[in-house]
Structure 1
Amino acid sequence: MPAAVLFDMDGTLIDSEHLWLKGEQTVMEEMGGAWGPQDQAHCLGGPIERAVDYMIEKSDTNHSQSEILDRLLVVMGELYLEAPLQWCPGARELLIETLDNQIPTALVTASWRRIIDVVHAAINHDLGREAFTVTIGGDEVASTKPHPEPYVTAAHRLGLATHECLALEDSPPGAASAHAAGCRVVAIPHITPIQSQRHLVLVDTLKGQTLKSLWLLTA
């Protein structure tokens, strides 16, 4: 069994990519531009700053990166607060199994702290207990996904070596980050396909999976 389970947030633990699409479309429309699923897929899993830079390129706006970033975070915070929590298939059950077995957990995401806090509170409310031992946001590391720092930081804060940890991801940047950190990685492709690789286990869904089954798949 893993010594800890490190969960990505959007698209792995919670089904929220439709919220990001709506939020990005809202901000782009305010700037006089357009945004579609192909644009979302282009930015999926990476730093939010990269998505903002891409939005600037597409819209030819005079607004600065910091202005657009702040606006996007405001819009996303409102959407997360308004929308009911939607779990990805099997994710809630796997998180509960992890907690019931008293295995440490981490939420490791490229989303920023103000977004994490909203989602974290909703998850805790849904489960009726604290869900995560540590949480790592994209604005709390020098380099976010696909750089290994987020997962290295999570393992360090848990007092563990990365090879003892199971990481769950849904995007190529996230899977690359976890692998580069030295974690055992299971990827559940959500919007963007992930290429099959020797070091990477791909599953269609977490539904029906257990900690033991996932850990054995990565052995």
Structure 2
Amino acid sequence: MLGVVMEACVFDLDGVLVDSEPVWEQVRRAYVADHGGTWQPDTQSRLMGMSTGEGAAYLRELGVRLTPDEIAESVIDQMAERYQDGVPLLPGAREAVQRLAARFTLGLASSSPRRLIDVVLDASELREYFVTTVSTEEVARGKPAPDGYLEAARRLEIYPKDCVAVEDSSNGLRSAHAAGMRVIAVPHADYPPDDDALAIAWRVLPDLDALTVELLT
């Protein structure tokens, strides 16, 4: 099969470069419990990909009796505090970013708030490799809507069809696909995407070590 030449690679952050989903779940689960809410079996999967505002509004639906702004601020504060102990990069994340940056234009489209994106990229010394980074705080809708990926492509001045996205979650895969990008899935073992979301991926890789320049050229 002939390879498909891409001009840009747009990474997700949480669950792709940073093993942050367990941290998000721990922080949010404890926060809901501490404020009298009830964590549901599908809560974590539903939250994956939501923007900051959408996630805060959803936690309020679970019974947290605070405003979405108050919820968002508290959760972000706790996440930033956890990151002070170190950013949990996933195996091969740094190498994958450096490897692809040598050949492609890189962007990032994340559901994390801008504050946490900046904390992670600065602490991990990965900021220099990304031409642009987009938080879903900066667009109208979070994942699975395509807004974040479309904005990343717009800022890169590259057509979405000439971009490949690297994702792990159901909402992320659907978002990048809806934007018209080819999607590479690198599923997280503890938070696997739904089968129907995985089916729309162009490639499914076992880990970031398999994400090579040759795959995209």
- Band the TM-score falls in, shorter-chain normalisation: 0.7 to 0.9
Cα drift, residue 67 of structure 1: 1.1
Partner of 1:107: 108
Q: Where do 1:1-219 residues align within 5 Å?
A: 1-33=5-37, 35=39, 38-59=42-63, 61-82=64-85, 84-101=86-103, 103-124=104-125, 130-190=128-188, 191-195=191-195, 196-198=198-200, 200-213=202-215, 215=216
C-alpha deviation, 1:36, in angstroms = 7.4
The CA distance in 2 between the partners of 1:192 and 1:50, in whole Å, is 21
Deviation beyond 6 Å, 4+ runs, structure 1:
none
- Judged with a 3 Å threshold, the aligned counterparts in structure 2 of structure 1 residues 33 and 199 are, in CA distance, closer, same or farther, namely closer
For structure 2, the 5+ residue unaligned runs are: none
Structure 1's unaligned 5+ residue stretches are none
Higher mean displacement: 168-177 or 200-209: 200-209
Change (3 A) 1:181 1:67: same
Report the TM-score, using the length of structure 2 for normalisation: 0.86
The residue type paired with residue 30 of structure 1 is: D
Asked if the contact 1:8/1:109 (under 8 Å) is kept, the reply is yes
User: What secondary structure sits across from 1:130 in the alignment?
Assistant: helix
Structure 1 residue 194: Cα displacement: 3.1
Q: How far, CA to CA, are the matches of 2:91 and 2:157 in structure 1?
A: 30
Contact 1:94 1:209 in 2 (8 A): yes
Compute the displacement of 1:162 (Å).
0.8
Equivalent pair of 1:44/1:192 in contact (CA under 8 Å): no
Alignment TM-score, normalising by the size of structure 1:
0.86
User: Over aligned residues, Cα RMSD in angstroms?
Assistant: 2.1
State the identity as a percent.
35
